[in-house]
Amino acid sequence: MQYALINGVKSEAVAGADATCLDCGRKTVAKCGPIVMHHWAHAGRNCDSWWENETQWHRDWKNLFPPECREISHTAPSGEIHRADIKAPGGIYVEIQHSAMTQAERDSREQFYDNMIWIVDGTPFSSRFHLHHSLPDPSLDWAQDCAWFPARNPLQGAPFPEGMYQKRSLIAEDRARGAATGMHLMFFQRDEEQKFREAYTGHHQYLWKRPHSTWIEARKPVYLDFGSDILFRLETYPIGNLPSVRVITKRQLIHDLHEQNYAELVCLSPYDKN
Ligand SMILES: [Zn+2]
């Protein structure tokens, strides 16, 4: 844990200090070696069964928020108590997750915190995750006419990062003419680079080999962090229900978590040109 109480004051680890757990009052021991990240170790089992040992990545995320937002207890109506990594100033809980997690555990945390987002460490599976071509702003009329080949489509064989699509209107015309064929004109994104650049709002297809279904099936927003300035939010692209990600800058996520009150409103329009 980053914090414990020293004489009633929420404090970071101080070697040799007499300190107690913020939640249960049991003794905590400062670990301030030259190599370990300074932290408090809970005497016996941690009173929060969901607690996991922190990595530096974990700690770095917490430190992007003021101390009064870190390691905040939440009590459910049932009396159950857990400690959230971050409760952002607007009230949104942020769970920073490095380790894999079962669906059952993810479910119980989503129910418990409700107004929450996940930030997941993507580095353990970064070699299996590939960002593919962009998808145009789905609110545009012409974008709604595009039937994209899914990144996983076996027709494309090996991972094929370029966008390839058919036009729904042309398929409908073919059918109306009674052409009983599955063959339709194919279009390539690279042929209209400018048009797609202007319609870019951060949507992409992706290929995730051996994906973690826990995160794909999460009901709360999941932001994957691969260690750069941008994050990928798992989404479903509404045209054709394609698995997709939305590119979000870390900076905007932090900003919105300081301003917004509801998890669903965070980074709603990350590429708003206004
Ligand atoms: Zn405790």
Distance CA 45, CA 67 (A): 24
CA torsion 31-50-247-187 (nearest 10°) is 140
Q: What share of the chain is helix, strand, coil (3-state, %, to 5)?
A: 25, 30, 45
Dihedrals phi, psi of 80, to nearest 5 degrees: -65, 140
Calpha distance 51→61 (Å, rounded):
16
| Distance from the alpha carbon of residue 108 to the mean position of ligand 1, in angstroms | 20
- How far apart are the CA of 116 and the centre of ligand 1, in A? 23
CA dihedral 251, 242, 262, 231 (to 10 degrees): -20
Residue 228 is given by DSSP the state S
Strand partners, 249: 230
CA of 196 to the centre of ligand 1 (A): 53
Q: Taking CA 181 as the corner, what is the angle to CA 175 and CA 145, rounded to the nearest 5 degrees? A: 50
pTM of the model: 0.91
pLDDT at 274: 42
Ramachandran angles phi, psi of 110, nearest 5°? -65, -40
Contacts of 40 (CB under 8 A, 6+ apart): 1, 2, 3, 4, 13, 19, 21, 28, 29, 30, 31
CA 6–ligand 1 middle distance (angstroms): 14
How many A from CA of 75 to the centre of ligand 1? 14
Degrees (nearest 5) of the Cα angle 23, 113, 72?
30
Per the structure block, which two tokens stand in for 153? 């489509």
pLDDT at 271: 63
Q: What is the pLDDT of residue 29?
A: 95
From the CB of residue 156, how many other CB atoms can be counted at a distance below 10 Å?
16
> Going residue by residue through the chain (274 aa), what tens digit of pLDDT does each one get?
999 999 999 999 999 999 999 999 999 999 998 888 999 999 999 999 898 888 999 999 999 999 999 999 999 888 889 999 999 999 999 999 999 999 999 999 999 999 999 999 999 999 999 899 999 999 999 999 999 988 865 455 555 567 899 999 998 888 888 777 777 888 999 999 999 999 999 999 998 989 999 999 999 999 999 999 999 999 999 999 999 999 999 999 999 999 999 999 999 887 654 4
pLDDT of residue 158: 53
Centre of ligand 1 from the C-alpha of residue 227, in Å: 31
| Dist CA 95 CA 84 (whole Å) | 6
How far does the centroid of ligand 1 lie from the alpha carbon of residue 88, in Å? Answer: 22
CB 67 within 8 A of CB 10: yes
CB atoms within 10 A of CB 185: 10
83-93 residue pLDDT tens: 999 999 999 99
